[in-house]
Amino acid sequence: MKKAIALVSILCLLMVLFISGCTEQSNTETNNGKTVTMTAEEVFNDMKMDSDWSTYIKILYNSLDDGDTLIIHDTIDNISYNPETNRTTITFNVSQDENMGNSLNFPFEGNLTGFYHVGDEVKITGTIKHVKFTYEENGNSVDYELEIFKEMWTTPDEYMTSQGGALPPTSITKA
């Protein structure tokens, strides 16, 4: 049961962290990759997941690659602060699909509730990082292949135990 809860938590976080997809605005090429602006729903719709949940989990994006910059431009649906983890979670509504959930959550370092509020139009900027690792627990090995914000990546062990890092407050601005 603990492993199932961890996998569901990881899936939810990965859906938040892993970005790619249809673009809302024009893309630009840079020396380090392209810059893409999308709404949270476009990010959500562009995620591609493949998994058997026992030996591998793959969550990638159709239109973003390692080194690309993603700007999520959307309106905050919910914001909450957890003093135990010193993280603020910002939530965007994305879908009414009962099987995949209906929101994307982005964790940030520190308490941002004095700066951002429900209804604020914001931009979250991050760089895509392609990550592959094998995680072993209780004699089972699971291979992970993920695309995540570089700014959130930790080590595989830290990622699995704390569900990844949090974005720095400098990653979000009012639009």
Q: Which helix (H) or strand (E) holds 8?
A: helix 2-17
Longest dimension (CA), the chain: 47
pLDDT at 24 over 50: no
CA distances from 23 to 64, 72, 76, 121, 130 (A): 10, 10, 19, 18, 20
Is the model more confident about 42 or about 161?
A: 42
pLDDT at 129 over 70: yes
Is the model more confident about 29 or about 45?
A: 45
User: 172, 117 in Cβ contact below 8 A?
Assistant: no
Q: What is the pLDDT of residue 82?
A: 96
Domain count, the chain: 1
Q: Quick one: tokens of 119?
A: 């209804």
pLDDT tens figures, 34-90? 999 999 999 999 999 999 989 999 999 999 999 999 999 999 999 999 999 999 999
Share of the chain above pLDDT 70, in %: 78
User: 126, 66 in Cβ contact below 8 A?
Assistant: no
Sign of the Cα pseudo-torsion (101, 106, 111, 112, in order): negative
Q: What is the pLDDT of residue 21?
A: 36
> What domain range is 94 assigned to?
2-174
Is the model more confident about 46 or about 17?
A: 46
Question: In 3D, which of 132, 18, 106 has the Cα closest to residue 68?
Answer: 18
pLDDT at 9 over 70: no
Residue 122 to residue 142: CA distance in whole angstroms? 36
Q: What is the pLDDT of residue 161?
A: 78
